Amino acid sequence: MKATLYADGGSRGNPGPAASGAVLYDEDGEVLEEIGTFLGVTTNNVAEWTALLEGLKAALARGVDEIAVRLDSELVVKQLSGAYRVKHPGLIPLHAEAKVLLRKFARHDIRHVRRKENTAADAVVNQVLDAHR
């Protein structure tokens, strides 16, 4: 089964109250699942990585074996590709977990998209943050 994952994270303040959001779509563009998680007080980068992890776990739980991942965090995309090193101690385990999860898919394609192409995942983030004011 093929799917597309859009993931985003955000914090109001950096660090500040943070949330992750992910939207998983089937091959026809229908929403399979929305995942929103309140993370407490943390950084935007932790929120971005957590959104990716939660989305990948949801895809695996649904039996997805080919995943297209779309993120508006250029930093996460470049760190995943190896173009940038992950230096922050708090992000190293998140990066390692993402690599392990990605290896469970027969195929994966990770690309950066503009923020305007990631509005559904961003909306999930804001919904979660608004609910925790």
Beta pairing, strands 2-11 & 66-71: parallel
Q: Is the pLDDT of residue 57 over 90?
A: yes
Helix axes of 119-131 and 44-61: crossing angle, nearest 10 degrees: 110
The one-letter amino acid code at 10 reads G
The one-letter amino acid code at 127 reads Q
Average pLDDT, the chain: 97
Domains of the chain: 2-131 (3.30.420.10)
pLDDT tens column, 84-130: 999 999 999 999 999 999 999 999 999 999 999 999 999 999 999 99
pLDDT tens column, 33-44: 999 999 999 999
Burial of 85 (0-12, 13-18, 19+ CB in 10 A): exposed
122, 23 Cβ separation under 8 angstroms: no
**pLDDT the model gives residue 133:** 86
**pLDDT the model gives residue 117:** 97
